[in-house]
Chains A and B, each alone.
Chain A
Amino acid sequence: GESVGLHLPTLSVQEGDNSIINCAYSNSASDYFIWYKQESGKGPQFIIDIRSNMDKRQGQRVTVLLNKTVKHLSLQIAATQPGDSAVYFCAEIFNTDKLIFGTGTRLQVFP
């Protein structure tokens, strides 16, 4: 498959444990944030989003937390499964049309 990054920070977790992936964003004026998952050989896939007027949003097995004070975003995955192994990107949008991606974190799930 395609390699999306040879020098990505890597998070290794055991199957069934919870995962927390962190992201520091760059612009205090950003008002919309998205987490994407990228599997080998595929394009990024939307996981969950959050607007700047919220500090927490939950989906199915995933939760995004937003701390605007320190410009920090996190993605929590509950009961991590082998299928969660991928590279995860955060993205921020400001000025309604500028989308900036983080460099990504590789999540490895081992049995």
Chain B
Amino acid sequence: EAQVTQNPRYLITVTGKKLTVTCSQNMNHEYMSWYRQDPGLGLRQIYYSMNVEVTDKGDVPEGYKVSRKEKRNFPLILESPSPNQTSLYFCASSWSSNQPQHFGDGTRLSIL
């Protein structure tokens, strides 16, 4: 089954404690992306990757890092999480940037 898998689905942690949200897709897609979703603001792009070892900032990259060492994985790293990063996060993938994206089911992060 074609899917985008995110882990964990839920996480409560404290300010400053580094965390990583993993994202894996099994469709051999080249394009992957991370979004955060906040009430009233919709989905905003954090980072995206056009292919292995190619990553670019989206609209809200501050406080986040990503890596793309292999095609299927695109982890999102919060080196020093802060409460304003409390949000619902989605990973997505597609064949290219101008094709419909497949989304994971989301990761709810709460930073205390």
Contacts and interface: CB of A to CB of B under 8 A. Distances in A.
Interface on chain A toward B: helix, strand, loop, or mixed SS?
Answer: loop
Nearest to A35: B100
Contact of A2 (B40, B41, B88, B98): B88
A46 B101 contact: yes
A60 interface: no
Given A5-B40, A89-B42, A101-B42, A43 B106 contact: yes
B100 A99 contact: no
Contacts of A44: 43, 90, 92, 101, 103
Contact of B45 (A3, A7, A49, A99): A99
Contacts of A100: 45, 59
B97 A97 contact: yes
Interface in B28-50: 33, 35, 37, 39-45, 48, 50
Chain A interface: which size bin?
Answer: 20 to 34
B65 interface: no
CB-CB nearest 4 A-B residue pairs:
A43-B103, A46-B100, A103-B42, A97-B97
Interface of B: 4, 33, 35, 37, 39-45, 48, 50, 56, 59, 88, 90, 92, 97-98, 100-106, 108
29 contacts: A2-B108, A4-B88, A5-B39, A5-B40, A5-B42, A6-B40, A7-B40, A36-B103, A42-B105, A43-B4, A43-B92, A43-B103, A43-B104, A43-B106, A44-B43, A44-B101, A44-B103, A46-B100, A46-B102, A96-B98, A97-B48, A97-B56, A98-B45, A99-B45, A99-B101, A100-B45, A101-B35, A101-B44, A103-B41
Interface of A: 2-8, 31-32, 34, 36, 41-46, 49, 89, 91, 93, 96-104
